[in-house]
Amino acid sequence: MTIDISNILGEEKGVVSNFKGEVSYKDTVYQGDKISFSNPIEVNGNLSKGRDCLYIMINIRGNITIPCSRCAGEFSHEIDLSFTEEFKDIDDVVGEEELDVYTYQGTKIKLDRIIFEQILLNMPIKRLCKIDCMGLCPKCGIDLNEQKCNCDRDDDIDIRLLELKKLLPSKDREV
Ligand SMILES: [Zn+2]
Ligand SMILES: [Zn+2]
C-alpha cells in the first residue's frame, strides 16, 4: 500500500490529511511459526506535517492465523494496533544518528514493510488457541483437548502447573 504525500508536503506544519486502504501479505514464517494472512489487513491513518518531518499515524485491523504453542492447532488472532512513525526526507537525513529513522524519497511512501514489522513486533508471546488449551500429550502426542490417553503424565498435571512447579523451591513441592 502506497500513500501519496505530494499534497501534504506543500502544507504548513500541523496540517493533517487522512488516508485508508488495505494491504495483503503472503504467508510467512516467524519464530518457527507459520503466519497466514488469509484476508487483507485494513489500514486507516493520517498524515500530519511536522516542522521537518511527516508523522504517520496508522491503525491496522484484521485477522491472522497462527499455530497454538501448546497443541499446534491453528487459530485466528485478531489484530487491532495503532502506531505512529516519523518520516524524514531522505535528502535531510545526514548524521549517522539518524540512520534508523524512516525516510521518504519523492512524493510517495510505501507502508507495507512498516505495517508488517508492527504485526510481527506485536505478536503475542504466548500463542494459545484458548487460555486453557491442554496441549498435546508429551508421550503419545494425542491432542488432549479432544481425547484422553492413558499415559502416565505426572498425575495428569496441567502443563502450566508443571512450569510453575519448576519455579517453586523443592521443599514446597510436596503440596
Ligand atoms: Zn491449543
Ligand atoms: Zn498420551
Handedness of CA 63, 68, 71, 73 (dihedral sign): positive
Amino acid (1-letter code) at residue 63: N
Mean pLDDT by 10 residues, the chain (175 residues): 92 92 96 94 96 94 96 96 94 73 91 95 93 93 93 67 65 50
For residues 86 and 158, state if they share a domain: no
Which ligand is closest in space to the CA of residue 142? 2
Which ligand is closest in space to the CA of residue 66? 1
| pLDDT at residue 162 in the model | 62
Helical spans, DSSP H, in 6-158: 6-9, 112-121
| pLDDT at residue 175 in the model | 46
For residues 25 and 92, state if they share a domain: yes
Residue with cell 504466548: 126
For residues 112 and 149, state if they share a domain: no
Question: 148 CA to middle of ligand 2, Å?
Answer: 7
Which ligand is closest in space to the CA of residue 137? 2
| pLDDT at residue 8 in the model | 92
For residues 138 and 111, state if they share a domain: no
Is 116 part of any domain? yes
For residues 33 and 98, state if they share a domain: yes
Question: 141 CA to middle of ligand 2, Å?
Answer: 6
Per-residue CA distances from 148 to 63, 125, 163 (Å): 31, 28, 21
Number of structural domains the chain divides into:
2
- Yes or no: say if 64 and 42 are a contact pair by the CB < 8 Å rule: no
Which ligand is closest in space to the CA of residue 129? 1
**Containing domain of residue 47, as a range?**
2-121
Handedness of CA 10, 16, 20, 22 (dihedral sign): positive
For residues 22 and 97, state if they share a domain: yes
Is 129 part of any domain? no
Which ligand is closest in space to the CA of residue 131? 1
> Model pTM?
0.78
Is 166 part of any domain? yes
Question: 67 CA to middle of ligand 1, Å?
Answer: 8
